[in-house]
Structure 1
Amino acid sequence: MWGLDFSQIDWDEMKQASYDTLAMMGYSLLFTIVIGLPLGILLYMTARSNNRVINSIYTVISFIVNILRSVPFVILLISLLPLTKLIVGTTLGVTGTIPPLVIGAAPFFARLVETSLREVDRGVIEAAYAMGASTGQVVRRVLLPESLPGLIAGTTITAVTLVSYTAMSGMVGGGGLGDLAIRFGYYRYEKEVMIIAVLFMIVLVQILQMAGDRLVRHFTRK
Structure 2
Amino acid sequence: MTSSSNELRIVLVGRTGNGKSATGNSLLSGRAAFKATQSAASVTKDCSSETNHININGMNKKLVVVDTPGFFDTDPENTNDMVKNRISKQIFEMTSPGVHVFLFVLSSRRFTPEEKQTVDFIESIFGTGVTQYGIVVFTHLDDLEEDEDYTNLDHFVRKGPSGLQELIRKCGGRKFAINNKLRDRKLEQHIKPLLEMMDNLVRTNNGKYYTNAEYTRIEEKLKAEKERKEREEREKIEAREKALIEK
**For the superposition of Structure 1 and Structure 2, which TM-score range results when normalised by the shorter chain?**
under 0.3
Higher relative contact order (CA 8 A, sep 6+): 1
TM-score, scaled relative to structure 1: 0.27
Instruction: Give the number of the structure whose residues are more often strand, by fraction.
Output: 2
TM-score, scaled relative to structure 2: 0.25
